[in-house]
Amino acid sequence: MILFWAIGGALAVLALVLVLRPLLARRAAAGISRKAANIAIYRDQSLELDADLAAGKLAPADHERARSELESRLLQDVDAAQEPAPQRGGRGIAVLVGVAVPAIALGLYLLVGNPRAVDPSANPDAVAAKQIEGMVERLAARLRENPDDVDGWKMLGRSYAVLGRFPEAVGAYAKAAVRAPRDAQLLADFADALAMARGQNLEGEPQQLIQRALQIDPKNLKALALAGTVAFDRKEFKAAADYWQRMLPLVPAESEDARSIRENVAQARKLAGAAPAASHPGVRGTVRVSPKLKDKLAPGDTVYLYARAAGGPAMPLAVLRRSARDLPLDYVLDDSMAMATAMSISAHPRVVITARVSRSGNAKAEPGDLQGASKPVANDAKGVVVVIDAVVR
């Protein structure tokens, strides 16, 4: 057992080295796909295990246990990184499935892959595609021997969905749902696959699964996204906006997901005849850079423009993202850009407008960024000029 844990620790260190190595060399190897790199990393780890077994350093039973532990740990890390992306209208189902492709491919490889089958001289994408197909079949065979493996059925369902084999995905998800009827994420995935198998139609049983998922977990992102899609397709735009609005507190306030959700909410409200911007004009003005800082500006830098309550909470009331090449730029910040109903420009009489140029593209301020802010102004002020004249220290 001591030998087993010692080898497990060595493998953890080896995994860290092997993961960091391709990351540090990413610019030099830009032509290599991420999928191919992941396969190469896992192949090296597996070959190390096999070498220890061949050298007599590791008993066969310990070799198998070490491999299983490594696969399970890495698979959990991959699954934890998955997040559904909110979408608008009928396109939402397809994109929600598409976002999972890289994570599912890697997760399935770590679960049942055969690293020895990789030929480094072959086309990486072709090798990966062929291997994934084989892994799916091996996973299905394993589940026939162990039908009570709920996580296995869920992985099989996701894998079939990634491959576009939606009827088979439905069958796998159905078996998982029988064994885990109160798993909200499973029900949302089940509804998604069932809709795709029926020609991207969420009506009927898929919608029922979505509502069951929301009853179990009202904050499930994928279920909220799909429920909004159902309402949008029915032209129930106010209901669609309400579902998508409920997603905003569940994602990082300044993330791309939050921006996409706000755009969807704004469109749905506009179609419903209740767009916030129609009842409140918001703040309008211009952003420019001080002449003393122009030489520090690069065209590819990102510009973030925020409205915050004067003397209120730090959470932005509205966010606008542009490129530095657009400066100077005219802007409008209004309620359509709000991240929560109670946190909108119209809900706060006086606001401060802040502009920041990010060199890294991160929404969070970092040393070296350029920024500037207005004085407190009315929430419907016009001609508000923001001068970017300071460097973040």
Cα torsion angle, 161, 165, 166, 171, sign? negative
Residues with Cβ within 8 Å of 333's Cβ and at least 6 positions away in sequence, in order, are 282, 283, 284, 305, 307, 317, 318, 320, 345, 353
> Is residue 352 scored above 90 in pLDDT?
yes
pLDDT attached to residue 311: 79
- Confidence band of 341 (pLDDT split at 50, 70, 90): low
Q: Please identify which residue in the block is written with the tokens 């999972």.
A: 100
pLDDT attached to residue 45: 63
pLDDT attached to residue 336: 77
What's the rounded Cα separation, in Å, for the pair 20 and 117?
24
> Is residue 347 scored above 90 in pLDDT?
no
- Eight-class DSSP state of 376: P
Angle of helix 101-112 relative to helix 60-80, nearest 10 degrees, comes to 170
Q: What is the mean pLDDT of residues 34-55?
A: 60
Q: Are 101 and 108 in contact (CB under 8 A)?
A: no
What's the rounded Cα separation, in Å, for the pair 94 and 127?
25
Tell me the whole-structure pTM to 2 decimals.
0.47
pLDDT attached to residue 11: 47
Q: What is the mean pLDDT of residues 28-46?
A: 49
Parallel/antiparallel/unpaired status of strands 283-289 and 384-388:
parallel
Backbone φ and ψ of 331, nearest 5°: -135, 160
Q: Residue 355 belongs to what H/E stretch?
A: strand 350-358
pLDDT attached to residue 354: 94
> Is residue 334 scored above 60 in pLDDT?
yes
Parallel/antiparallel/unpaired status of strands 377-378 and 350-358:
antiparallel
pLDDT attached to residue 163: 84
pLDDT attached to residue 85: 43
Torsion of CA 152, 158, 163, 168, to 10 degrees: 70
Q: 272 vs 220, 235, 236, 267, 346, CA distance in Å?
A: 24, 8, 8, 9, 19
The tally of CA atoms less than 13 A away on the side-chain side of residue 352 is 15
Each residue of 253-262: pLDDT tens digit? 778 888 889 9
Each residue of 115-141: pLDDT tens digit? 444 444 445 555 566 777 788 888 889
> Is residue 14 scored above 70 in pLDDT?
no
pLDDT attached to residue 33: 46
Burial class (CB in 10 A: 0-12, 13-18, 19+), 296: middle
More confident: 362 or 341: 362
Share of residues in the chain with pLDDT > 90 (%):
31
User: Average pLDDT, whole number, for the chain?
Assistant: 75
